Amino acid sequence: MSEQATTGLSIHPVPGLPEFAPGDDVAGAIAGAAPWLADGDVVVVTSKIVSKAEGRLVPVPPGADREQLRLQAVEDEAVRVVARRGPLAIVQTQQGWVVAAAGIDASNVGQDALVLLPEDGDASARRLRDRLGELLGVDVAVVVSDTFGRTWREGLTDVAVGSAGIRALTDFRGTVDAHGNRLETTRVAVVDEIASAADLVKGKLAGVPVAVVRGLRVQQPDPDDGTRPLVRLPQDDLFPYGARDLVGSRVPADELVPRPGELAAVADAFRVASGALPEFPVVFRYGGEGDGVVDVHLTDALSTTTALNLGALLGAAVVQLHADGWTTRWEPVGTPGGSSLVGRLWLGTTPT
């Protein structure tokens, strides 16, 4: 008596897949287990089986300390440590992902190995997509998924670490809603939502590493940049450092390259530092010709306290500048001959 629900989309598990080892044909196994794949399907493949087949493994010899090897592998895979607390390291990988433990996992693999993320998840996805097309004559999209945590929220969700044949971001910017409002900032990470949806059927323990999402209107990318559009660029990152790494500099000072805007950046940094450290009052000024260097003058009467107060603001400002992506180099002058100039702060950035 109730009318039937209209199915927007359906998510199908692909059971019956074998354990994978280096050199195995993942696409062939999927084609055998899911001969029903059809044009427009999105095949979501857990990164772990891709990594196993691609040999992205760290061997754990008998008797070796598996946890110690895991921690070392995290350091090896990291291009940048974003935060650290005890054995937990949140790092950026060479693929650009910021993820706990570099995405390395010790579960769902034999005790004799650790599994790294695929070296290039987009290339992995493209190979799977192409091979499924050859084997089954279907045009499917592929998403390679992994399980990531999130800042400020408990619980993990699956996200995409590789994709092919589907636009990673759906861009609604510039479109207009039914009320006449322009949507300025809505870009949906569709492949991440697909990875999460697929995880609802794959489960964590059931041994079902592949699921198929059917019923999406897949937008074909051209060119196909895979998941690259999901990587946030440094200039857009408001959280380059966690609690443990607040005062680190982004690049070595000897690679310092001038970039415009250093005086405004210093002014902003001193403003923030002064506002947050009101117990270090001092009268000072800064300026200069604006070519990558800012002179810092103590104009208060010189004393231990005034010099220390200026230093505190300078140290806090430098931390602020580092977090904003600047590299700094401080050259002390030390007020020789009664000059008010205490030093020069060089500012730059890394070559792009």
Shortest distance, CB of residue 57 to a second copy, whole angstroms?
13
Q: What character string, x for contact with a second copy (CB under 8 A) and - otherwise, covers 45-74?
A: ------------------------------
Q: What character string, x for contact with a second copy (CB under 8 A) and - otherwise, covers 248-287?
A: xx---x------------------xx-xxx-xx-------
Contacting range for a second copy; rule: CB under 8 A; set: 1-9, 72-80, 254-262, 286-294:
1-9
Burial 298-313 (b: 16+ CB within 10 A, else e): bebeeeeebbebbebb
- Binding to a second copy (CB under 8 A): which residues in 319-348? 319-320, 322-324, 329-330, 332, 334-335, 342-343
Taking Cα atoms as reference points, which of 306, 309, 235 lies closest to residue 265?
Answer: 235
- Residue 332, phi then psi, degrees to nearest 5: -70, 150
Q: Report the residue number, 62 or 152, with the smaller CB distance to a second copy.
A: 152
Is 143 one of the binding residues for a second copy (CB under 8 A)? no
- Binding to a second copy (CB under 8 A): which residues in 119-138? none
Coil, strand, or helix at residue 43? strand
Shortest distance, CB of residue 159 to a second copy, whole angstroms?
7
Contacting range for a second copy; rule: CB under 8 A; set: 71-79, 117-125, 255-263, 318-326:
318-326
Q: How far apart are CA 6 and CA 338, in angstroms?
A: 83
Out of 119, 300, 315, 350, name the contact with a second copy by CB under 8 A.
Answer: 315
Q: How far apart are CA 245 and CA 66, in angstroms?
A: 27
Q: How far apart are CA 137 and CA 140, in angstroms?
A: 9
- Binding to a second copy (CB under 8 A): which residues in 180-209? 180-181, 183, 186-190, 192-194, 196-197, 199-201, 204-205, 207
Is 146 one of the binding residues for a second copy (CB under 8 A)? no
- Binding to a second copy (CB under 8 A): which residues in 232-251? 232, 236-240, 242-249
Q: How far apart are CA 239 and CA 92, in angstroms?
A: 12
Out of 132, 213, 256, 266, name the contact with a second copy by CB under 8 A.
Answer: 213
Element housing 88 (H / E): strand 88-93
* Strand partners for 294: 345
Shortest distance, CB of residue 301 to a second copy, whole angstroms?
12
Residue corresponding to tokens 């433990």 = 101
Q: Report the residue number, 176 or 257, with the smaller CB distance to a second copy.
A: 176
Is 309 one of the binding residues for a second copy (CB under 8 A)? yes
Burial 158-170 (b: 16+ CB within 10 A, else e): bbbbbbbbbbbbe
Alpha-carbon dihedral angle through residues 101, 104, 106, 111, given to the nearest 10 degrees: -130
DSSP state of 253: G
Out of 58, 69, 294, 298, name the contact with a second copy by CB under 8 A.
Answer: 298
Taking Cα atoms as reference points, which of 304, 306, 285 lies closest to residue 296?
Answer: 285
- Binding to a second copy (CB under 8 A): which residues in 71-100? 82-83, 85, 90, 92, 97-98
